[in-house]
Amino acid sequence: MKHRVANGYKAFYNMVQKCKGANLSSWKLKNQLFKSLVRPIVLYGVQVWGPTTSQSNWNKVEAIQKLFLEMELGVKTQTPYTLLLVEAGLLPLEVEALYHTLQYVMRVKALQDSRLPKQALYASRAFGWYADVCRWAKTWDLCEHEWDTQPKKLRALLHSKAIRKLWHNPSPRLQYFMRDVNPMVLFEEQEYLGAPISVKLRHIIARYRLSSHHLEVEEGRWKGVKRQDRVCTLCDSGSIENEYHVFIGCRWYQDIRVAHQILVSDLHDLFRLPPKQLGLYIMAIDRK
């Protein structure tokens, strides 16, 4: 396992270097490269080691994908992994690992009873590899009778279970995100990631969508300021300086709002503006 993680980082930094050398910054392309160059290295042989890997070791595996997303979105390392995944429409590497493992099980099950792999599989049902796989699948709320023989159906089922698990019991930050930023009608990557805008604009949009910014509502949290005291110092409204206040409410930014033709009245609509218009508006406010 340790070996896999080390090799995963190696493959990842290799990819980063190559992209830099070739001046590649497109999210879509990098996401493809991560999936085809890094992920298979990390998950190599996962059918063997995955079923008995502990949660803390899975966290070490996920850290590679988390680092990738942090770099692509340009956000702080404190940004919750779930937020990053939802923004990019990706799932934990563990889910991909479980998918490959279950697919392997279904392939073996389809063999004739006389075949050795099938006999070995059933021999480990009460205690051993097969039992471990069942336990692992259960942690993602997937019972054995639900495993589908069709890869597509199996993947779809696993995805829906994983999404439900990720959204279960959301933290206040996640609740805010779900309410005001992304009500998540569909679990897919956000449009701005693939839009023809500069990396700078992509990063600044991501920072404000994912609360990885320097507004008082976040800064105050780190400084230990009470929530009601994290107010805007640019106007006299006494409002908390949060995303809604600076982008929509605060009078101080009215001229910028007019210049950028921003006519929205809630955050949800703001974040649905065309990526370029949104990015330039956020940048104008961020610099002030």
Stretch that binds Zn ion, among 34-42, 107-115, 192-200, 227-235 (CB under 5 A): 227-235
**90 or 232: whose CB is closer to Zn ion?**
232
**172 or 238: whose CB is closer to Zn ion?**
238
Contact 205, 282 (CB under 8 A): yes
**11 or 250: whose CB is closer to Zn ion?**
250
Q: How far is the CB of 277 from Zn ion (least distance, A)?
A: 22
Q: How far is the CB of 41 from Zn ion (least distance, A)?
A: 49
Distances (CA, A) of 216 to 60, 85, 226, 250: 32, 25, 11, 14
Distances (CA, A) of 91 to 26, 81, 97, 118: 20, 10, 11, 30
- Distance between CA atoms of 207 and 201, rounded to whole angstroms? 10
Q: How far is the CB of 247 from Zn ion (least distance, A)?
A: 11
- Distance between CA atoms of 148 and 217, rounded to whole angstroms? 46
**130 or 208: whose CB is closer to Zn ion?**
208
Q: How far is the CB of 199 from Zn ion (least distance, A)?
A: 29
Among candidate residues 175, 218, 210, the one with its CA nearest the CA of residue 282: 210
**38 or 246: whose CB is closer to Zn ion?**
246
Q: How far is the CB of 213 from Zn ion (least distance, A)?
A: 15
**Contact positions with Zn ion (CB under 5 A) in 235-264:** 235, 250
**Contact positions with Zn ion (CB under 5 A) in 151-210:** none
- Distance between CA atoms of 264 and 273, rounded to whole angstroms? 9
Stretch that binds Zn ion, among 51-59, 168-176, 225-233, 274-282 (CB under 5 A): 225-233
Q: Sign of dihedral through CA atoms 132, 57, 222, 224?
A: positive
Q: How far is the CB of 253 from Zn ion (least distance, A)?
A: 8
Helix H or strand E segment including 134: helix 129-139
Give me Rg for the CA atoms of the chain. Answer: 23
Q: Which of 33, 90, 232, 240 binds Zn ion (CB under 5 A)?
A: 232
**19 or 234: whose CB is closer to Zn ion?**
234
The string of DSSP letters for 150-182 reads SHHHHHHHHHHHHHHHHHSS--HHHHHIIIII-
Q: How many residues bind Zn ion (CB under 5 A)?
A: 4
**4 or 230: whose CB is closer to Zn ion?**
230
Helix H or strand E segment including 199: helix 199-209
Q: How far is the CB of 219 from Zn ion (least distance, A)?
A: 15
**142 or 246: whose CB is closer to Zn ion?**
246
- Distance between CA atoms of 151 and 103, rounded to whole angstroms? 7
Contact 192, 202 (CB under 8 A): yes
Q: How far is the CB of 235 from Zn ion (least distance, A)?
A: 3
Give the binding site for Zn ion (CB under 5 A).
232, 234-235, 250
